[in-house]
Structure 1
Amino acid sequence: MTQEWTLFISTFTTLLAIINPLEALPIFLLLLEGKNLAEHRKVAAQSSLYATLLLLFFLFFGSLILRLFGVPLSMVRIVGGIILTKIGFELFSGSSGSGSVVPEGGAGKDANIAFVPLALPIMCGPGAIATVLGMTAQVQRWEFGSFAPIVAAVLATMFVTYLCLAYAGKLVDRLGPMGIDAITRIVGFFVSAMGVGLIFNGVIEGLQNHGLNMLH
């Protein structure tokens, strides 16, 4: 398997696990309570588009800012891993505070719920941003083509997220609250494992760089 495919698959699986569209289904249905299927799909498309643009913004401009300030990529991995590990523990223990992003009294008539809270922070939260920035540590050259696997992974993740939201009613009926809770806890376990992996790789890379500097 080539490096590009490895980067794509690792970014796609991590992002999908972090965003976890199934966990967002109850919130999505609550915000759109009383709306028809066409409205559901419209909001699902809008929120997925907003989240895609936000992630791409952080991918290019976040990476550029880190490089300008000379932040080592090993440090990006460590910080991203810490955030992922924390989110994974919250998902696994069932203490995720996603419900707190729902506005009190429901969504107002003019409220753009597709952007807040669906796109930000449910889809494009700290974990997703940390994942995107952490994956840039795998990029060897500062060229647009080098970021293509990450961009493709973001697009694929948001497409899957759109499908889950567009068919939220059917998915909730089939899985039920217990099924969604079980899947969320399983996802949380793997997210924690991914976070620990990022921390471990970041520490090893940092120690290697420090050791090479000391030798010289």
Structure 2
Amino acid sequence: MNPFIVHFVSLFLTLLAIINPLEAIPVFLNLMADKDRQTRRRVAQKSCLYAMGLMVFFLLFGTLVMEAFGVSLSMVQVVGGIILTRIGFELFAPSQGRLIPTAGSRQADGMDMAFVPLAMPIMFGPGGIATLIGMATPMHLTLATLETYAISILAIMATMVVTYLSLAYAGPILKKIGPKGIDAASRITGFFVSAMGMGMFFNGLVEFLRSYGVLMTKVAG
């Protein structure tokens, strides 16, 4: 299979699993409880644009951020793996609700909720940051990697389109699937997010141990 297609599908599914739009639906409806359908759609669109901008920023400048803080790729993978695993366990465990303010929007247009908490941390939190920085760090913005960056941005855009549609039609989706359906989907997603987190953690741990000579790289011979 074309490696660019594999990369697109892999990143798209990873980000979609981390965001988990179905789980965000009840929170979104709670925040926008007193708003009409058009206002909810405008807020959903704005928050998705904010989240997409944050994702593209960390994709393009994740390496610079790491260098500024003096953090290695292996450490990002280790910490990111722990965060993803924790998110997965929270999704898989009995639903207790997210630790996100849900008092509702106080502005008529609802835009006070578009960036925080909708764009960040509901759509783009620690798991997304770790995923994008971990993926972008080995790459450098050159002509050779330009296609990979382009495919990555397309995957981010596709993820946010799905997220927007989930929020824009949150009411009908909730009525159709029901709270139990959303809970079941969240548990299944949580299992795979935990598995991805453990994979990222052990990859980072192996690289960290190799960097200190604890593990030796196998040499073909």
TM-score by length of 1: 0.87
Per the alignment, do residues 183 and 34 of structure 1 end up closer, same or farther by CA in structure 2, a change over 3 Å counting?
Answer: same
Determine helix, strand or coil for the equivalent of 1:100: coil
Determine helix, strand or coil for the equivalent of 2:82: helix
Report the equivalent of 1:41. 41
- 1:118-147, Cα deviation, whole Å (9 max, x unpaired): 11111111111111112224x444336142
Report the equivalent of 1:187. 189
Determine helix, strand or coil for the equivalent of 1:113: helix
Report the equivalent of 2:63. 63
Per the alignment, do residues 151 and 75 of structure 1 end up closer, same or farther by CA in structure 2, a change over 3 Å counting?
Answer: same
| Distance of 1:5 and 1:63 partners within structure 2 | 24
Report the equivalent of 1:156. 158
Out of 125-134 and 158-167, give the one that drifted further.
125-134
Matched, 1:203 2:205: yes
| Distance of 1:159 and 1:101 partners within structure 2 | 24
Q: Count residues with an aligned counterpart.
A: 212
| Distance of 1:54 and 1:29 partners within structure 2 | 23
Matched, 1:51 2:89: no
Report the equivalent of 2:14. 14
| Distance of 2:50 and 2:75 partners within structure 1 | 28
C-alpha deviation, 1:164, in angstroms: 0.4
Q: 1:107 aligns with which of 105, 112, 131?
A: 105
| Distance of 1:163 and 1:46 partners within structure 2 | 13
Determine helix, strand or coil for the equivalent of 1:22: helix
C-alpha deviation, 1:113, in angstroms: 1.2
Per the alignment, do residues 34 and 68 of structure 1 end up closer, same or farther by CA in structure 2, a change over 3 Å counting?
Answer: closer
Structure 1 gaps of 5+ residues are none
Relative to its length, the structure with more helix (as a share) is: 1
C-alpha deviation, 1:98, in angstroms: 1.9
Determine helix, strand or coil for the equivalent of 1:109: coil
| Distance of 1:160 and 1:114 partners within structure 2 | 17
Aligned partners of 2:100 and 2:117 also within 8 Å: no
Give the partner amino acid of 1:30: N
Per the alignment, do residues 184 and 62 of structure 1 end up closer, same or farther by CA in structure 2, a change over 3 Å counting?
Answer: same
Aligned partners of 2:60 and 2:136 also within 8 Å: no
| Distance of 1:169 and 1:212 partners within structure 2 | 54
Structure 2 gaps of 5+ residues are none
Out of 167-176 and 38-47, give the one that drifted further.
38-47
Give the partner amino acid of 1:71: V
| Distance of 2:206 and 2:6 partners within structure 1 | 20
| Distance of 1:196 and 1:73 partners within structure 2 | 16
Identity over aligned residues, as a percent? 53
Determine helix, strand or coil for the equivalent of 1:198: helix
C-alpha deviation, 1:187, in angstroms: 0.5
Taking only aligned residues, the RMSD between alpha carbons, in angstroms, comes to: 2.4
Aligned partners of 1:59 and 1:133 also within 8 Å: yes
C-alpha deviation, 1:97, in angstroms: 4.7
| Distance of 1:4 and 1:205 partners within structure 2 | 25
